Structure 1
Amino acid sequence: MRDIHRKASIYQVYIKSFRDSNGDGMGDLEGVRQGLPYIRRLGATHVWITPFLCSPQDDNGYDVSDYRNIEPMFGTMRDLERLVTEADALGLGIMMDMVFNHTSSQHVWFQKALAGDKKYQDYYIFRDPAPDGGAPNNWQSSFGGSAWEFVPALNKYYLHLYAVSQPDLNWENPQVRQELYDILQFWLQKGIKGFRFDVINEISKPQDFPDAVPGQREPFINGPRVHEFVHEMNRAVFAEHPEILTVGELAGCDIQNLSWFTDPARQELDTGFQFHHMRADYTDNQKWTEGRLNHRLLKDTLFSWVEGVEKGSGCLSLFWSNHDQPRALSRFGDPAGQPEKSAKAVATVLYWMGGIPSIFQGEELGMKNAGFTALEQYKDVESINHYKILREQGKSEEEVLRILAQRSRDNGRTVFPWDCSHAHGFTTGEPWIWSGDSVLCSAEEEEKKPDSIFHFYQRMLALRCEHVDALCGTFRPLHTARDAVFAYEKCGTEEKLLVIVNLSDQSGALAEEVELKGYEAEPVCLVQANEELPKNALPRQLMPWSAMVYKLNAKQEK
């Protein structure tokens, strides 16, 4: 991690659901501006906003039709400029979500390609049919079905790793790369302080386009030139802007590649998201199934990634939730029994591991899954597509709706609860999506409660800055008797932290739950906990959903 970002933390805003300033039921840039003081009080340093550029919204803005203009439903360029100015005044950096693997099929480049313009056909990935007239290979779209769409007028297929309306760009073409670098320069001139790059490790495709092999990583993930391309982008755009924070979405990445992407010496990205721990509640490693949390898998995955990336000099961006994931409290906590205490425990186990934390809007309020019970309540294209796929596989409607209630991306997209008024203060009109059962407590209520989840997150972000030496130090996992108990050390050059978290409703003697040999005589000082604990001694009992952070070799405090 570069020194300039050692105290960075990201707050993700899903713009459609954060705050609506004009009563049309859709969040907007002015609504984000109105929410900036709240984010500043929480303690984040960067505000990542999901795409707000011109788009037909087939995939909630991740299908861009114009990279240099604002989608009218979200506001105007003047609104963005005002947002950036006020964010700067508050010490916040605005981070844009850039979708560079693909565009919308309505983008002028693709429209020219369809019209026969050879120059713009080379901006995308068009291929001749296979000898039998079918698709060039067996690649599948992440949204279901073939990743290839046939264009009769051209007698060619084009590649779309996502929706049919999201054709993949051809990064092998240097003109395409220069177009994208120019776009980044355009937004830097507007005062943007960071970029999150959507599915950036899928931009390089092997040019022989081999078939995917079942059970193996898809050929287009971490492709042959991906590091070359990302390094080139860094040098072309960010060499003169060292203050800019760059984040890569690196789904399907392995530890070695993520370390390479985020090692400062390689000059590619500052940090990156991996998603392997998001599979800890899958059945047979399949997303669209009903499942239960496997604590051992969750622990092994998180610990191996933190250790491995650290050894590779890389930097993880740690997250529990985002716009593509169900709510963390519903997956890893206890929303029905001890929602507040378990939400704090879930936060503790992850965000003291180091790296750069990324907090999704509402996580700091303990938001839950929506609990939708009918297909009509869903808006997400992926969820609607998989409803059809699962029904065709023979699953009953009741079973499919249970799966959607657990897995749908819409669980993370319900509106942000500002207060207890109509639509939770999100809008004066009718919201584009309802909150269902997702709201535990509003932001207004949480800020008034000293022991709330909000204030726990607020204190945690402040404490991370105070203990940055340990957080940037060595990660050492500790042996525990139960899979649901997470324990580790973070050892810096000047201080050492001990983190112990019980992600279950079972209790036990601490000395039996965690291997604490050598700690008995070591001075300790409590840094943060989600319950009343001794200040200068470890507790005897590890209670249900208990979370604690102690400083070791600490001076005793009275």
Structure 2
Amino acid sequence: MGVDPLWYKDAVIYQLHVRSFYDANDDGYGDFEGLRQKLPYLEALGVNTLWLMPFFQSPLRDDGYDISDYYQILPVHGSLEDFKRFLDEAHEMGLRVIVELVLNHTSIDHPWFQEARKPGSPMRDWYVWSDTPEKYKGVRVIFQDFETSNWTFDPVAGAYYWHRFYHHQPDLNWDNPEVEKAMQEVMFFWADLGVDGFRLDAIPYLYEREGTSCENLPETIAAVKRLRAALEKRYGPGKILLAEANMWPEETLPYFGEGDGVHMAYNFPLMPRIFMALRREDRRPIEAMLQETEGIPESAQWALFLRNHDELTLEKVTEEEREFLWEIYAPDPRFRINLGIRRRLMPLLGGDRRRYELLQALLLTLKGSPILYYGDEIGMGDNPFLGDRNGVRTPMQWYADRNAGFSRAPYHRLFLPPVSEGPYSYHFVNVEAQQDNPHSLLNFNRRLLALRKRYAQVFGQGTLTLLPVENRRILAYLRTYGEERLLVVANLSRYTQAFHLPLEAFQGLVPIELFSQNPFPPVTQPLYPMTLGPHGFTLFALALPETIRVSAPDWAEEVTPEMLPQVPMEEGLESLFVETMADERARAAFLKALVQWLGERSWLALKPQRGELYDALRFQKTSPLYLTLLQLEHHGRTLVFLPLAWDAEERESSGAFARTRPREGYLYELSQDAGFYALLLRRLKEGFQGRSLKAYYRGEHRGPVPEELTLLRPGLAAGDGVWLQLGLVQDGGLNRTLETLPRLDLPWILPPEGQLVWERGRERRVLALTGPLPEGKPQEAFALVQTLAAEGLARLRGQRLEEGGAGLLVEALRELESLARLLGVRLALLHQRLKQVEGEGEGVPLLGRGLGAFLEVSGELYLLALGPRGWGSPLEDLARMAYDLERAVELAWESLGEEEEGMSQAVGAFVVEALLGAYQDTVPEPLDLEAWPGVMASWAEVQLQREERSIRLRILRRWKERAR
């Protein structure tokens, strides 16, 4: 893993106790092998750093913070080899690991203390002794619920020893250089193994001086700086120190030094003010503490947290604030301990999900590196009857199985019982139950963490600017890093709030909602109006309008080549199109240029090798324009209907495929020219008739004629109340559409009411169809799929799908999944109706058009076209549809600037499965899904003939592998 010296600024830390996480050997205690097995879960959750609570040799009187051997792992947690294996695998996954460095005290069982007790021992000076408990009088007792003094008499030593915490945790004497050297050696031992950082436990209490509070002394600050210097001298930058200093801001800031102290420190003063602001529905407690904690060195970072393994400490609040928070959040005295509240996050909030989500959003977007406590991502509860703070340290709840899936050991052998009663029982609250539920807390947190990862530098290193919203119930702040600007808006009230954001400096920018990636109205005035529901929050990127990505169809990106081939043309277009007036040399050059042009068009389902003009009709004399039927050869013959034109001037629109000389001008193919579709519609409305050398052309249109038509794809245009499609490839599809669609009594079919027909004796070809369009703005189904896929994929950026990804996919792709299922249902119903209308045959009549057969208007999906008449397996139509769905997803992923195909492949598979499932649920006969991969591979191979783009190659490779 490459070392970024500032990695901790972008860290998202997950705090866990090895003992509580997962038991792999069924002895009732979590272990490193169990933690190693659960690393994929943590990776998929979206965290990138693990903070491990003490796992060293200990009598466990204080949950492992009473260490009896710094170099040994507690046997129930495994061996040193187990730890190394876990650490290596975590690093392979990109996860960093922080461990505890308990500098202030040891256990009374530590050999150092046992030796120091002995009269005359040379190690006596490793601890702090006194003949009287009157020394350092006035220093506060931290654990007032359990200790009455900081001194305890030891009968073996015949003296009192000093302890700032429990009496079984004697303080080390940091005035002895040998102690400092020994603790540095402990740090080096674990750093040599590869750990990435150290949490400095209880750091303010290293030194004692008479007449002081014995907290945050200059000597302590100096010792911390020496610790960092020793760490960097041995390892260089990259390993970090995180200070646990539960102090007021002015007392914590010195630990950072001038960038030569600790790298990180917990923002203890901010944490209780978040809960206070939430309850008072007023942002001022948060704003005040954000301002108080400014001014740390550029390379330093605050560590933010809501809850952890200890009590919600209320030491660094005023007495009035403490009484208020106790009364609100812990009215039951059982939940109070040591000037704090021993509750987990979700029960602390009364089980209110909206408040939970709001606080998680603040945790992950305020300035600093967030810390999540294990189990809070699923809303675990606590057990106040377990004593001390053990109620918030119960086993992780994996399944509704016995022992919460934590261990297969007998229940009485578990180190602590899992929560098994009430609304937070592991029967209801567990990872398995939430894994595939898109609305679960687990998947909410995964989405939020993915968002944090996507904007890691903005949230981790960017500036924070509070916005002075007049409504105090609204907390709004801007996070800025480089050119990126993110806006966070939160409603601290339990009621809906209307307000105005002061965004005068950002007029002209467009707020993009980060979860949905939907643009909001641009900022056009100094005060931007907004409304948020109870405890609601929203995150925006403020973007320039021109930077907003819009998915463009691949055919629209096909540009005219810089060097156009030359076509000799002495006179008019008749020398190219009219057989009796043709200049053979000119016609040959014209056809060669046209075939070359068509070979590069993705909308044409083949790569032509040569072509012949089958028929041509002059459609317009001024600005010459011909309707042509071109016979193309490629593994057989295909007729293509094309409008071709000539112009003396170069047009802005694409479509130029040749240049003419000596008569200077350009030849154009108009399948992508919306103006031609509008012209054709007007002529059909007039009742068009024409005669070529070979055939009659007759046409009519009975509907409206809008001034303009919008090109939805080559061959399909629409305007107010009307659609028009050209049979660019004469495969018989429009003939069948004209004949059969009016006979299908399905409400989502748009039957044609006008047509352009080519007739020669009994031979009849439909060249174009028109029909009525419901009110609304139409778009083709492929474009709709691409848009929905882009929105869903944007929501999934940064997610890991290996562990329980189904829930994330369902939530992010809700609209796309619904569309795929709708297509599956409608394809099944269409097959059934076509059987009834056209007969059974040997299979089902083929639709043959994939997504190209459907059109979306105002949220409704309409059938617009059929394929040529034929018989085949329903799998063939499903393959056409599924291929289009997959390709649209791949194009959407590409449009987002992403290259790794794992996410798009997972989304494509998800959408195709929805299509197949809906089809099977609608038809009585089961599908032959064993043949499905082969059918898909065959169709993907056919589609590769259109164009050899990397996307089509990937889809073909994927299905060939599945078909093996």
Q: TM-score under structure 1 normalisation?
A: 0.81
2:520 aligns with 536
> 1:347 is matched with which residue: 360, 364, 386?
360
2:221 aligns with 227
Separation in 2 of the partners of 1:200 and 1:279?
21
Per-residue deviation, residues 393-432 of structure 1 (Å, max 9, x unmatched): xxxxxxxxxxxxxxxx334212211111112111223231
1:238 aligns with 232
The answer on whether the counterparts of 1:129 and 1:136 sit within 8 Å (CA) in structure 2 is: no
Per-residue deviation, residues 518-543 of structure 1 (Å, max 9, x unmatched): 66753211123xxx795324884210
Q: Judging changes above 3 Å, is the alpha-carbon distance between structure 1 residues 250 and 524 closer, same or farther for their aligned structure 2 residues? A: same
1:405 aligns with none
Cα distance, 1:269 vs. partner? 1.7
- Partner-residue secondary structure (3-state), 1:417: coil
1:142 aligns with 142
Cα distance, 1:460 vs. partner? 3.0
Separation in 1 of the partners of 2:440 and 2:292?
30
After the TM superposition, which residues 58-73 of structure 1 pair with which residues of structure 2 at under 5 Å, given as runs? Answer: 58-73=61-76
> 1:428 is matched with which residue: 400, 405, 408?
408
Separation in 1 of the partners of 2:156 and 2:215?
30
Q: Judging changes above 3 Å, is the alpha-carbon distance between structure 1 residues 143 and 10 closer, same or farther for their aligned structure 2 residues? A: same
Q: Judging changes above 3 Å, is the alpha-carbon distance between structure 1 residues 490 and 187 closer, same or farther for their aligned structure 2 residues? A: same
> 1:323 is matched with which residue: 284, 309, 332?
309
Separation in 2 of the partners of 1:164 and 1:507?
51
Separation in 2 of the partners of 1:434 and 1:297?
38
Cα distance, 1:334 vs. partner? 5.1
Cα distance, 1:181 vs. partner? 0.6
- Partner-residue secondary structure (3-state), 1:82: helix
Separation in 2 of the partners of 1:191 and 1:311?
27
The answer on whether the counterparts of 1:70 and 1:76 sit within 8 Å (CA) in structure 2 is: yes
2:396 aligns with 416
Provide the identity percentage.
Answer: 28
2:446 aligns with 458
> 1:361 is matched with which residue: 374, 384, 388?
374
Q: Judging changes above 3 Å, is the alpha-carbon distance between structure 1 residues 178 and 141 closer, same or farther for their aligned structure 2 residues? A: same
2:611 aligns with none
Cα distance, 1:474 vs. partner? 1.8
Q: Judging changes above 3 Å, is the alpha-carbon distance between structure 1 residues 276 and 161 closer, same or farther for their aligned structure 2 residues? A: same
Separation in 1 of the partners of 2:27 and 2:367?
40
The answer on whether the counterparts of 1:523 and 1:536 sit within 8 Å (CA) in structure 2 is: yes
- Partner-residue secondary structure (3-state), 1:119: coil
Cα distance, 1:57 vs. partner? 0.6
Q: TM-score under structure 2 normalisation?
A: 0.48
2:266 aligns with 273
- The amino acid across from 2:310 in the alignment is D
- Partner-residue secondary structure (3-state), 2:538: strand
1:258 aligns with 252
Cα root mean square deviation, aligned: 2.8
Cα distance, 1:162 vs. partner? 0.5
2:86 aligns with 83
Q: Judging changes above 3 Å, is the alpha-carbon distance between structure 1 residues 502 and 239 closer, same or farther for their aligned structure 2 residues? A: farther
After the TM superposition, which residues 416-495 of structure 1 pair with which residues of structure 2 at under 5 Å, given as runs? Answer: 416-429=396-409, 430=411, 431=414, 432-435=416-419, 436-437=421-422, 438=424, 441-471=429-459, 472-480=461-469, 483-495=472-484
Separation in 2 of the partners of 1:310 and 1:235?
19
- The amino acid across from 1:314 in the alignment is A
- Partner-residue secondary structure (3-state), 1:184: helix
- The amino acid across from 1:450 in the alignment is P
- Partner-residue secondary structure (3-state), 1:146: coil
- Partner-residue secondary structure (3-state), 2:38: helix
- Partner-residue secondary structure (3-state), 2:174: coil
Separation in 2 of the partners of 1:142 and 1:227?
20
- The amino acid across from 2:222 in the alignment is E
Question: Is residue 379 from structure 1 mapped to residue 387 from structure 2 by the alignment?
Answer: yes
Tell me whether 81-90 or 44-53 shows the greater mean CA deviation. Answer: 81-90
- The amino acid across from 2:497 in the alignment is G
Cα distance, 1:249 vs. partner? 0.8
Q: Judging changes above 3 Å, is the alpha-carbon distance between structure 1 residues 451 and 56 closer, same or farther for their aligned structure 2 residues? A: same
The answer on whether the counterparts of 1:259 and 1:312 sit within 8 Å (CA) in structure 2 is: no
Per-residue deviation, residues 430-466 of structure 1 (Å, max 9, x unmatched): 2313315445632223221234332333333333343
2:627 aligns with none
Separation in 2 of the partners of 1:203 and 1:118?
22
Separation in 1 of the partners of 2:231 and 2:370?
25
Cα distance, 1:244 vs. partner? 1.5
Separation in 2 of the partners of 1:462 and 1:2?
23
The answer on whether the counterparts of 2:46 and 2:449 sit within 8 Å (CA) in structure 1 is: yes
Cα distance, 1:69 vs. partner? 0.4
> 2:44 is matched with which residue: 32, 41, 64?
41
Separation in 2 of the partners of 1:158 and 1:486?
49
The answer on whether the counterparts of 2:259 and 2:297 sit within 8 Å (CA) in structure 1 is: no
Question: Is residue 509 from structure 1 mapped to residue 498 from structure 2 by the alignment?
Answer: yes
Q: Judging changes above 3 Å, is the alpha-carbon distance between structure 1 residues 502 and 477 closer, same or farther for their aligned structure 2 residues? A: same
Separation in 1 of the partners of 2:290 and 2:534?
22
- The amino acid across from 1:421 in the alignment is D
Separation in 1 of the partners of 2:289 and 2:360?
14
Separation in 1 of the partners of 2:375 and 2:230?
36
Cα distance, 1:44 vs. partner? 1.6
Q: Judging changes above 3 Å, is the alpha-carbon distance between structure 1 residues 278 and 354 closer, same or farther for their aligned structure 2 residues? A: closer
- Partner-residue secondary structure (3-state), 2:178: helix
- The amino acid across from 1:551 in the alignment is A
- Partner-residue secondary structure (3-state), 2:452: helix
Per-residue deviation, residues 356-402 of structure 1 (Å, max 9, x unmatched): 1111111221224x254xxxx3132xxxxxxxxxxxxxxxxxxxxxx
- Partner-residue secondary structure (3-state), 1:86: helix
Stretches of structure 2 lacking an aligned partner (at least 5 in a row): 312-342, 522-527, 551-964
- Partner-residue secondary structure (3-state), 2:15: strand
Cα distance, 1:109 vs. partner? 0.7
The answer on whether the counterparts of 1:57 and 1:63 sit within 8 Å (CA) in structure 2 is: yes
1:248 aligns with 243
The answer on whether the counterparts of 2:102 and 2:201 sit within 8 Å (CA) in structure 1 is: yes
Cα distance, 1:245 vs. partner? 2.9
- The amino acid across from 1:111 in the alignment is Q
Separation in 1 of the partners of 2:374 and 2:473?
26
Question: Is residue 524 from structure 1 mapped to residue 541 from structure 2 by the alignment?
Answer: no
Separation in 2 of the partners of 1:111 and 1:320?
38
The answer on whether the counterparts of 1:270 and 1:315 sit within 8 Å (CA) in structure 2 is: yes
After the TM superposition, which residues 165-314 of structure 1 pair with which residues of structure 2 at under 5 Å, given as runs? Answer: 165-206=168-209, 208=210, 210=211, 219-241=213-235, 242-252=237-247, 254-262=248-256, 265-280=258-273, 295-296=282-283, 298-300=285-287, 302-306=289-293, 308-310=294-296, 314=300
Separation in 2 of the partners of 1:516 and 1:411?
46
- Partner-residue secondary structure (3-state), 2:67: coil
Q: Judging changes above 3 Å, is the alpha-carbon distance between structure 1 residues 57 and 300 closer, same or farther for their aligned structure 2 residues? A: same
More strand by share: 2
Equivalenced residues, count: 494
The answer on whether the counterparts of 1:276 and 1:301 sit within 8 Å (CA) in structure 2 is: no
- Partner-residue secondary structure (3-state), 1:167: coil
- Partner-residue secondary structure (3-state), 2:204: helix
The answer on whether the counterparts of 2:97 and 2:195 sit within 8 Å (CA) in structure 1 is: yes
Separation in 1 of the partners of 2:274 and 2:487?
27
Q: Judging changes above 3 Å, is the alpha-carbon distance between structure 1 residues 268 and 204 closer, same or farther for their aligned structure 2 residues? A: same
Separation in 2 of the partners of 1:293 and 1:158?
44
Q: Judging changes above 3 Å, is the alpha-carbon distance between structure 1 residues 327 and 504 closer, same or farther for their aligned structure 2 residues? A: farther
- Partner-residue secondary structure (3-state), 1:510: strand
Cα distance, 1:494 vs. partner? 1.3
Per-residue deviation, residues 268-290 of structure 1 (Å, max 9, x unmatched): 2221113223444999xxxxxxx
Which protein, 1 or 2, shows the higher relative CO under an 8 Å CA cutoff with sep ≥ 6? 1
Separation in 1 of the partners of 2:135 and 2:238?
44
Per-residue deviation, residues 65-119 of structure 1 (Å, max 9, x unmatched): 0000011122221221221122122222222112111000110111111112443
The answer on whether the counterparts of 1:469 and 1:494 sit within 8 Å (CA) in structure 2 is: no
